[in-house]
Structure 1
Amino acid sequence: MTPPGALLRAAPLDDLIETGAHLRGFGGVHGGLTLALLTTAMAERAPGALLQNVTARYLRPLGGEFRIEVPEERTGRTMTALAARAVTEKGVHVDASAIFAAPRRASWPPVTPSAPAAPPPEDCEVFTIPPEFVAISTSMEIRPVGPNRPYAGGAEPELTAWIRLLEDDEPPDVHRLTLLLDGLAPSYAAVLSELALLPTVEFAVRPAIGLQRTASPWVLLRARTHRASADGWVDEGIDAWGPDGDHLGSARQLRLVRPM
C-alpha cells in the first residue's frame, strides 16, 4: 500500500491514479490528499512559481481510480491561473483552481497569526481516529493540545493538535501541508455529542512563507468553526505553524453536516 507522502512524490499524474482503501476519508478518497494531487499537477504547468491560493469544490465522492485533467493555463503580468479536475467515467468529481506567482523581493511588513501556546508534541498523548471512520488517519500521528476532543460535547468548536505523517521525517512541502491541513476531525465536532458526518464541500489553502524554511515533520494545527447554521452548513478556518512558531499556512473549509 503506497503511503500518502510517497504517492504525492511519485504519482503518475498523466495516467490513471489508483488509490487504495487506506487513503479514504469521508466516503471517498481523502479530500486533502485529492487537492494535494490536483495542486501537484497544476504546479507542473507553473515551474518556478509559488502557490498563492488553491480552492477545490467536492461535487461527489471520489472512488479509488481517477484521472487528473489540467486545462490550458491563463497567464497575466504577475500571476498564472490554473484549473484542474479529478475525473472518472462518471464525470467530474472534484474541480480546483489555483493562483501561482513568481517569487518577489519586497519589504512590506508581514502580518501572520501567532501560534497558540502548546507543549512540544512528545509531551502530548496520541489521539487515534477510528480507521473505519477515516482510513487515512492510520498514516498520521495526531497529538491533541488542550481538552477539546471530537464528539465530546464541549463548549468551543475548536480543535488544536500536533500532526505529522508517519512514513518518514520529511518536513512538509506545500502538497504535504495541504494534506495535513485536512488531517484533523472537523472542529464543529468538538461541540457535538453524537457522531455525524461533516464532509467538505469546498476547501481552500493558502501557504505562508514560513513553509519554505520549516525543518520538522510536525505541524501544529488550530481549527475553529467561525459560523454554523441550523441547517448544517459549517464555515471553518484552520491555521498551521511549525515547532518554532513560524506560520506555515491557512485553510478554509465549507462543510455540511449529515446524520450517520
Structure 2
Amino acid sequence: MSGWLQAEDHLRGFGGFHGGLALALLASAMRAHAPELELQSVTGRFDRPLGAGFSIDSRLVRAGRTLSVVGAGAQGEKGTAIEASAVFARRGEDAWQPVTPAPPAAPGPEACEVFAIPAEFVPIATSMEIRPVGAARPYAGGPVPELIAWVRLVEDDEAPDVLRFILLMDALAPSYAAVLSTLAVVPTVELTVRQGAGLAGAVSPWVLLRATTLAASPDGWVDEHIDAWGPDGTHLGSAHQLRVVRAV
C-alpha cells in the first residue's frame, strides 16, 4: 500500500479518521511482509489525529520461519500520526487446552433496538449498526463503566475477516463514557487487537462486544478491555485500549 490516501469525511470517527479503520489499513500493509503467516496481534499508538489525508509505510522488523514482526506508520500532513507493529505466526498444531471467556447473557441482535449515533458527531457510524444490550448508554451517568452491544457493518453481510474485525473492535463508544453524565472526549492513545481461534470460523456479520473499563486514574487515564463473540457464543478475539479523558 503506497501513495497518498484521501481521508474522506464519512470515514471519520470523533475528531479524525477512525482509529480502528486506520489500524486495519496498517495491518493490511504489514500483512504483505508475511503473506504465509497469520496475524496474531496488532498494536497502534495514536500520536495525533489523522486529518484530510495520509500515507502508509511498512517494514519487516524481524523475519522468522514461524514468527515475524512487522512495523508500519501513517504519515499525515503534520508528520507521523500512528505508529504500529504486528506479530505474524504460522499456525501450530491443535495440541493444547483452549481457554476462552464466556459471553455475557444477551438476547439476539434482532431483539435489541438500534442505537443511532448522529452522523455529524461520528460520521463513520453510518457504516455500522449498533444494538445495545441492557440499559447502559454512553454519557448516561450509569453505575458501571461497561458497554455491551451487537455490532455489524451495514455495507455487506460478510462474516468478519481479520481486517473487518480490527475495525469492529473500535466500534463502540468508550466504556468509561457509560458513567459520565456530561460530554467529554475519551480518545484512544493505544489500541491492541488480537484475533481468537474462533474468528476463522465466523459465519455471521454480527459481533457481540463487551467493553469494560478495568481502571481509570483521577487524571483521566483509562485502561479498557474489549471481548468479542459470535451469535453462537464462539469467542472471536479481544482488544485492549489505553484512553485519556479530556473535557470538551
Aligned-partner residue type, residue 57 of structure 1:
R
2:196 to 208, 214, 223: 208
Q: Which residue of 2 aligns with 1:98?
A: 86
Single out whichever of 191-200 and 13-22 deviates more from structure 2: 13-22
Q: CA deviation at 1:77?
A: 4.7
Structure 2: runs of 5+ lacking an equivalent: none
Q: Which amino acid aligns with 1:259?
A: A
Q: Distance in 2 between matches of 1:80 and 1:72?
A: 8
How many residues align? The count is: 248
Partners of 2:246 and 2:93 in 1: CA distance = 46
1:81 aligns with 2:69: yes
CA distance in 2, matches of 1:218, 1:35: 20
Residue of structure 2 equivalent to 1:56: 44
Query: 1:122 matched to which residue of 2?
Result: 110
Greater mean alpha carbon deviation, residues 17-26 or residues 70-79: 70-79
Question: Residue in 2 aligned with 1:19?
Answer: 7
Residues 223-242 of structure 1, C-alpha deviations (whole Å, 9 max, x = no match):
00000011000000000000
Counterpart-to-counterpart distance in 1, 2:78 and 2:7: 17
Query: Which residue of structure 2 lines up, in the alignment, with residue 238 of structure 1?
Result: 226
Distance 1:30 1:112 in 2: 28
Say whether 1:140 aligns with 2:97: no
Deviations 1:143-186 (A, max 9, x none): 00011010000000000000000001011011111100100000
1:89-123 C-alpha deviation (Å, 9 max, x unpaired):
42110010010001111310000001111111011
Per-residue deviation, residues 200-250 of structure 1 (Å, max 9, x unmatched): 000000100100000100000000000001100000000000001111110
What is aligned with 1:173? 161
**1:175 match: secondary structure:** helix
Deviation at 1:14, TM superposition (A): 1.7
Are residues 1:40 and 2:28 paired? Answer: yes
Whole-Å separation in 2 of the counterparts to 1:88 and 1:156: 37
Instruction: Indicate the SS of the match to 1:80.
Output: strand
Question: Take 1:77 and 1:150, find their aligned partners in 2: how far apart are those partners?
Answer: 45
**Counterpart of 2:207?**
219
- Counterpart secondary structure, 2:60: coil
Runs of 4+ that moved beyond 2 A: none
Percent sequence identity over aligned pairs? 62
* Aligned partner of residue 27 in structure 2, secondary structure: helix
CA contact (8 A) 2:33 2:59 kept: no
Identify the residue that residue 8 of structure 1 maps to in structure 2.
none
Checking the alignment, whether the CA contact within 8 Å between 2:53 and 2:77 is kept in structure 1 is no
Name the CA distance, whole Å, in 1 between partners of 2:23 and 2:60: 18
TM-score normalised to the size of structure 2? 0.98
Assess, with a 3 A threshold, how the Cα gap between structure 1 residues 77 and 48 changes in structure 2: closer, same or farther: closer
- Write the letter of the residue equivalent to 1:124: C
- State TM-score, norm by structure 1: 0.93
SS at 1:99's partner residue?
strand
Residue range with higher mean Cα deviation, 18-27 or 223-232: 18-27
* d(CA) in 1 for partners of 2:3, 2:50: 16
Q: Which amino acid aligns with 2:123?
A: A
In the alignment, the residues of structure 1 paired with residue 111 and residue 46 of structure 2 have an alpha-carbon distance, to the nearest angstrom, of 36
**Deviates most, 13-22 or 211-220:** 13-22
Range with bigger deviation, 147-156 or 124-133: 124-133
Aligned partners of 1:239 and 1:179: how far apart in 2? 14
What's 1:158 paired with?
146
Structure 1, unaligned runs of 5 or more: 1-12
